[in-house]
């Protein structure tokens, strides 16, 4: 083999091996780092993993928000129109957090079935509905157990 | 509405249609000229590019005019402006939403075309003709897209709303005036590098001259991208009220990916210009860089990020951009496949040489870009396949991106001092012993000095930054042969490189410090309350109201003390915008080069208490300062004699001929 060609071949092998390892590592770590969205219905059915970081969300149930009078602690319920889940959060809630609004929270489900949030997200648009929440509402709605409007009010 | 001035928006649309027609001519005429070797046809490329840019500018100005005079008969104006909106924001509202930002996108594309037509006097005519024809083709696609799916001049007839819906308050800010145009200039500017690469492929002119023409244009686009990304980060930092400066949000990733590939392209162009190597690789990078710009546009503009289902139920826009993307990437790769095998690179280089280091740089940057691409698209793919709703956390991006950046930072120093063709590890090693010692010492000392605790992340971050800076300076010292007064003679291109590389280190220092030593506290505070954070004492003095032009806000006054010394009076606000009723957090920040003190308001609680977010962020400014260094470095490199010399020479040649 000519030296030029040999060099090129080594380079290609080096490249292929490098890309292969990189993709493998990427995919592996990706599978370890994804945060699954779990609907309130799924939580009620016990499909949510306990103690793993997941995302939960739904519409904030009207009249469910309780504030601690000493700290920033807040407790509220979210619903997908079918099931409710209680979320506790200690921190500053986003500007658009309010009753009836769709929110997504990141955190872990504890053994009491309460979702302990480390982060609560609500987008800067009042008409915005997080796509996951929209999806959850539609699924619950299709199940026909309770109407969407009833969940809101 | 029968008066002529009632027709102004139609003139805007008409200008856009003219721009489309001119763009079609800009594609066809010069290419026919090239095919038939008729110079007078090729010569049409320049005036056509200018005419196209003019029509687009007219169209953009008319849209801006509609905003300024509150013409709510235009649907886009009605949904993104309001009579109360201050005039500067009325103008920036032009690019505040989808339709207008697309118009801005194509207008800037037209302007880049005009710039090429003006600053290409040293280029052979057939090259100019091809470059401008390809740029025209991209323009045709995007003007068609704008007219077909996203016309900003669509009317709200016959019922004209008396008042507009208002611009999203988040966007009523200086940051929005400057961030999108800068970023778009970068995105679109990559079309020039792309067009040069394809034109060179078509004409079989992949040589050092092509690389030399292409380099300043690529650098220009890269500078805009650099500044645009930094502006976006800065804007998110002070405007979102969380104090975060990078979220690995898909929209942010969409701008970072082209930047990484453009950075690789810059370095690969250097090899092609100096050594005539990596030619087909450079072409491929130019194609990738612009494709990622288009992909970014697709991700941001098609609605696919909000929801794959929204995209599927209103597929017009998404499918159109996807088709443009497909044609653009597919077409250029096809041409690459057909033409690239005829390109041969002659010349050799050893394993240890500048070429190898630059190749490594390219690989690292591409792997980083690829990782980000994967992380950005993965949730979309999973969702599309119906496998559930997932999100890829910031931690994943950090685990991918940080190690690559560290390796990159390590090789920049020796890479820029290595000789072309062949060098020796021993020589590189002995020149950098001092830098190595400095890196280790400062790397270990920094965490110990900050709080006495060892932190290997800080050690690594500070170590590689100091190593990068020291190795770069050693190289400057050697090239100047130990004389300070020789540094100005080293050439702008080299000085620019040095400055940009130091900028990388400055950013890494900023990121390291702010990521590891930021302190944050969310507290319930009533007037008179005091909270300690780090060495700073935050005193909530009182709360009051402020009336702005189109908002009313609750404001808090904070006195911040460092020990006993008062260092700042901060007034964070919670604004309520009159038109939309939206609530916005306005953070108050006290800035020095060594730290930011950041206060933002949460919600009002009972008894006059508020949730307050207090933060101390060391070295925050360095993150963006590094970007400024990189941009100035780019400017210096662009200003290098060897690009200008050719222009003046050919100008004098023209004058002699005339």
Mind listing the pLDDT tens digit for each residue in B513-555? 999 999 999 999 999 999 999 889 999 999 999 998 889 999 9
B297, pLDDT greater than 60: yes
Where is average pLDDT lowest: B15-24, B52-61, B448-457? B448-457
CA-based nearest distance A127→chain B, Å: 11
How near does any CA of chain A get to the CA of B189, in Å?
Answer: 29
- Of the two residues B136 and A95, the one the predictor is more confident about is B136
Q: What is the mean pLDDT of residues B58-65?
A: 96
Selected residue of A95, A103, A130 to mutate for chain B interface (largest B Cβ count, 10 A): A95
pLDDT band at A137 (very low <50, low <70, confident <90, very high): confident
CA distance B608 to B606: 6
User: What is the predicted pLDDT for the residue at B655?
Assistant: 43
Using a CB-CB distance cutoff of 8 angstroms, which residues of chain A are in contact with residue B526? none
Question: CA nearest B265: which of B294, B229, B291?
Answer: B291
Question: Mean pLDDT across the stretch B396-415?
Answer: 92
Q: How far does the CA of residue A87 sit from the closest CA of chain B (Å)? A: 18
Please give the full DSSP string across B235-287, using - where no structure is assigned.
HHHHHSSS--S----HHHHHHHHHHHHHHHHHHHHHHHHHHS-SHHHHHHHHH
Q: If you average pLDDT over residues B239-258, what whole number do you get?
A: 89
> B18: which 2 tokens?
């003219």
> Is the model's pLDDT at B638 over the cut of 90?
yes
Confidence band (pLDDT; 50, 70, 90) for B57? very high
Indicate the pLDDT class of residue B438, thresholds 50, 70 and 90. Answer: very high
- Kindly indicate the confidence band of residue B648, based on its pLDDT and cuts at 50, 70 and 90: very low
**Nearest chain A residue (CA) to B521:** A91
Pick A30's closest partner by Cβ from B396, B574, B603.
B396
Q: Is A36 left (phi over 0), alpha (psi -120 to 50) or beta?
A: beta
The pLDDT tens digits of the residues spanning B15-42 come to: 999 999 999 999 999 999 999 999 999 9
Q: Do B168 and A124 touch (CB under 8 A)?
A: yes
Question: Does the pLDDT at position B56 exceed 70?
Answer: yes
Res B3 pLDDT > 80 = no
Q: What percent of chain A has pLDDT over 70?
A: 84
Question: Which chain B residues have a beta carbon less than 8 Å from that of A120?
Answer: none
pLDDT category at A136 given cuts 50, 70, 90 is confident
pLDDT computed for residue B501 by the predictor: 97
* Residue B303 scores a pLDDT above 90: no
pLDDT band at B173 (very low <50, low <70, confident <90, very high): confident
CA distance B28 to B157: 37
Winning range, highest mean pLDDT, from A126-140, B113-127, B316-330: B113-127
- A135 to B389: CB separation less than 8 angstroms, yes or no: yes
Q: What are phi and psi of A116, to 5 degrees?
A: -95, 110
pLDDT in tens, B325-353: 899 999 999 988 888 777 776 778 888 89
CB spacing of B375 vs A135 below 8 angstroms: no
What are the tokens at B210? 């092509």
Across chain A, mean pLDDT equals 79
**B264-272 average pLDDT score:** 95
Chain A nearest-CA distance from B68, in A, is 24
Task: Say which of A7, A69, A93 has its CB closest to residue B603.
Answer: A93
Residue in A70, A72, A96 nearest the CB of B522: A72
Residue B585 to chain A, least CA–CA distance (Å): 7
Cα torsion through B250, B254, B255, B260, rounded to 10:
110
**Tell me, what's the pLDDT at A11?**
77
- Give the mean pLDDT of B385-408: 87
Contact state of B602 with A72 under an 8 Å Cβ cutoff: yes
CB contact under 8 Å between A95 and B370, yes or no, is no
Residues 91-130 of A with CB under 8 A from B: 91-93, 95-97, 124-126
A68-90: b (≥16 Cβ within 10 Å) or e = eeeebebebbbbbbbbbbbbbbe
SS3 A98: coil
Task: For residue B348, give the chain A residue with the closest CA.
Answer: A4
The dihedrals phi and psi of B118, each to the nearest 5 degrees, come to -80, -45
pLDDT value at residue B614: 95
Q: What is the pLDDT of residue B657?
A: 42
What would the two tokens of residue B389 be?
């709703």
- Mean pLDDT, all residues of chain B: 89
Among A7, A92, A96, beta carbon nearest to B611: A92
Contact check, Cβ <8 Å, A37/B309: no
pLDDT digits (tens, 9 = 90+) for A2-34: 666 777 788 788 888 887 887 787 778 777 777
Contacts for B35 with CB less than 8 Å, ≥ 6 apart: none
Inter-chain CB proximity A92 and B374 less than 8 Å: no
pLDDT category of residue B324 using cuts at 50, 70 and 90: confident
Query: Which residues in chain A are closer than 8 Å to B612, comparing Cβ atoms?
Result: 92
Among candidates B375, B523, B611 on the partner chain, residue whose Cβ is nearest the Cβ of A30: B375
Q: Which residue in A7, A92, A96 has the most chain B C-beta atoms within 10 A of its own C-beta, making it the best mutation to test that interface?
A: A92
Q: Is the pLDDT at B646 greater than 70, yes or no?
A: no
Taking only the tens place, the pLDDT of each residue in B205-225 is 888 889 999 999 999 999 999
Instruction: Tell which wins on pLDDT, B53 or B422.
Output: B53
Is the separation of the CB atoms in B560 and B570 below 8 Å? Answer: yes
Distance from CA of A18 to the nearest CA of B (A): 9
Q: What pLDDT is attached to residue B2?
A: 52
Contacts with B, A 20-59, CB within 8 Å: 22, 26-27, 29-30, 33-37, 53, 55
Chain B residues whose C-beta is within 8 A of a chain A C-beta are 168-170, 241, 306-307, 309-310, 348, 363, 367, 370-371, 374-375, 378-379, 382, 388-393, 395-396, 399-400, 522-524, 574, 580-585, 602-603, 605-606, 611-613
Tell me the H-state helices in B342-454. 354-384, 394-417, 425-431, 433-451
Instruction: Answer whether residue B105 shows pLDDT above 60.
Output: yes
**B561: β partners:** B537, B566
Give mean pLDDT, residues B611-637. Answer: 96
Q: A69 vs B602: CB contact, 8 Å cut-off?
A: no
Whole-model pTM?
A: 0.91
CB B286 within 8 A of CB B292: no
Q: Where are the alpha helices (DSSP H) in chain A?
A: 3-33, 40-44, 131-143, 148-152
Which residue of chain A comes nearest to B304, CA vs CA? A131
Least confident of A67-81, B139-153, B186-200: A67-81
Contact across the interface for B524 and A35, Cβ inside 8 Å: no
Q: Which of B239, B284, B390, B610 best tests the A interface by mutation, with the highest count of A CBs <10 A?
A: B390
More confident residue, A131 or B67: B67
Q: What is the dihedral of CA B629, B630, B636, B639, to 10 degrees?
A: -140
Give the least confident one: B360-374, B569-583, B613-627, B642-656.
B642-656
Instruction: Give the confidence band of B4 by pLDDT, cuts at 50, 70, 90.
Output: low
- Put simply, the answer to whether A29 touches B396 (Cβ < 8 Å) is yes
- Residue in A35, A72, A92 nearest the CB of B391: A35
CB contact under 8 A, A69 and B310: no
Residue of B nearest to A70 (CA): B524
Nearest CA in chain A to B608: A69
pLDDT of residue B658: 39
Q: Quick check: A72 and B370 CB within 8 A?
A: no
Tens of pLDDT, residues B223-240: 999 999 999 999 989 888
Residue to mutate among B97, B172, B349, B391, with most A CBs inside 10 A, is: B391
Residue contact A91–B522, C-beta within 8 A:
yes
Classify the C-alpha dihedral B61-B62-B63-B65 as positive or negative: positive
CA angle B309, B311, B313 (to 5 degrees): 70
Q: If you average pLDDT over residues B268-273, what whole number do you get?
A: 92
Residue pairs between chains A and B whose CB atoms are closer than 8 Å: 100
């Amino acid at each position: 083999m000519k030296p030029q060609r040999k060099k090129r071949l080594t380079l290609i092998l080096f490249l292929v091996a490098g890309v292969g390892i990189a993709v493998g590592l990427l995919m592996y770590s990706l599978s370890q780092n994804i945060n699954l969205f779990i609907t309130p219905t799924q939580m009620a059915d016990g499909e949510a993993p306990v103690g793993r970081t997941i995302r939960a969300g739904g519409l904030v149930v009207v009249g469910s928000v309780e504030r601690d009078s000493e700290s920033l602690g807040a407790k509220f319920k979210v619903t997908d129109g079918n099931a409710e889940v209680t979320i506790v959060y200690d921190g500053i809630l986003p500007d658009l957090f309010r009753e009836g609004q769709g929110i997504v929270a990141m955190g872990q489900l504890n053994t009491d079935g309460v979702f302990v949030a480390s982060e609560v997200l609500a987008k800067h648009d009042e008409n915005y509905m997080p796509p996951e929440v929209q999806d959850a509402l539609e699924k619950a709605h299709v199940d026909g157990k309770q109407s969407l409007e009833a969940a809101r009010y | 509405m029968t008066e002529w001035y009632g027709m102004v928006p139609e003139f805007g649309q008409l200008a856009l249609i003219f721009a489309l027609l001119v763009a079609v001519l800009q594609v066809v005429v010069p290419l026919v000229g090239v095919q038939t070797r008729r110079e007078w046809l090729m010569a049409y490329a320049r005036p056509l590019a200018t005419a196209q840019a003019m029509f687009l500018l007219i169209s953009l100005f008319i849209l801006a005019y509609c905003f300024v005079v509150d013409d709510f008969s235009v649907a886009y104006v009605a949904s993104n402006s309001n009579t109360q909106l201050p005039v500067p924001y009325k103008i920036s509202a032009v690019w505040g939403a989808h339709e207008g930002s697309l118009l801005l996108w194509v207008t800037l594309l037209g302007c880049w075309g005009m710039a090429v037509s003006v600053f290409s006097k040293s280029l052979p005519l057939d090259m100019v003709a091809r470059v401008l024809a390809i740029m025209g083709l991209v323009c045709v696609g995007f003007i068609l897209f704008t007219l077909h799916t996203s016309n900003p001049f669509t009317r709200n007839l016959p019922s004209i709303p008396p008042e507009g819906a208002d611009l999203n308050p988040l966007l009523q800010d200086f940051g929005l005036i400057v961030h999108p145009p800068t970023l778009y200039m970068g995105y679109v500017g990559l079309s020039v590098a792309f067009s040069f690469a394809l034109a060179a492929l078509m004409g079989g002119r992949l040589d050092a001259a092509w690389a030399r023409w292409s380099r300043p244009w690529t650098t220009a686009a890269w500078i805009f991208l650099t500044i645009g990304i930094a502006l976006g980060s800065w804007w998110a930092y002070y405007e979102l009220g969380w104090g975060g400066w990078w979220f690995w949000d898909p929209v942010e990733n969409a701008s970072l990916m082209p930047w990484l590939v453009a950075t690789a392209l810059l370095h690969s162009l250097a090899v092609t210009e100096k050594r005539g190597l990596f030619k087909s690789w450079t072409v491929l990078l130019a194609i990738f860089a612009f494709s990622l710009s288009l992909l970014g546009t697709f991700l941001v503009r098609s609605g696919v990020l909000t929801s794959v289902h929204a995209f599927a139920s209103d597929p017009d826009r998404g499918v159109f951009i996807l088709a443009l993307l497909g044609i653009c990437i597919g077409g250029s790769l096809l041409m690459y496949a057909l033409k690239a095998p005829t390109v041969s690179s002659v010349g050799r280089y050893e394993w240890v040489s500048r070429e190898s280091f630059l190749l490594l740089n390219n690989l690292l940057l591409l792997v980083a870009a690829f990782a980000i691409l994967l992380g950005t698209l993965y949730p979309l793919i999973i969702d599309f396949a119906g496998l559930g709703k997932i999100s890829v956390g910031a931690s994943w991006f950090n685990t991918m991106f940080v190690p690559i950046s560290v390796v990159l930072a390590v090789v920049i120093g020796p890479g820029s001092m290595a000789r072309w063709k062949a060098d020796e590890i021993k020589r590189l090693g002995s020149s950098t012993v001092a830098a190595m010692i400095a890196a280790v010492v400062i790397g270990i000392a920094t965490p110990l000095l900050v709080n006495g605790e060892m932190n290997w992340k800080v050690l690594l971050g500070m170590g590689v930054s100091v190593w990068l800076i020291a190795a770069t300076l050693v190289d400057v010292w050697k090239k100047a042969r130990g004389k300070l007064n020789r540094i100005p003679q080293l050439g702008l291109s080299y000085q620019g490189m040095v400055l940009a590389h130091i900028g990388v280190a400055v950013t890494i220092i900023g990121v390291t410090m702010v990521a590891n030593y930021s302190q944050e506290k969310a507290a319930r505070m009533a007037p008179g309350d005091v909270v300690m954070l780090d060495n700073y004492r935050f005193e909530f003095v009182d709360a009051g109201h402020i009336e702005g032009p189109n908002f009313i806000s609750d404001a808090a006054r904070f006195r911040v003390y460092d020990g006993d010394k008062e260092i700042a009076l901060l007034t964070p606000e919670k604004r309520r915008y009159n038109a939309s009723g939206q609530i916005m957090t306005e953070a108050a920040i006290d800035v020095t080069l060594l730290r930011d003190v950041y206060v933002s308001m949460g919600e009002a609680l009972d008894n006059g208490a508020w949730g307050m977010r207090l933060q101390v962020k060391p070295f925050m400014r360095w993150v963006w300062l590094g970007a400024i260094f990189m941009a100035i470095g780019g400017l210096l490199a662009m200003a290098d004699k060897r690009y200008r010399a050719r222009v003046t020479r050919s100008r004098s040649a023209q004058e002699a001929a005339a």
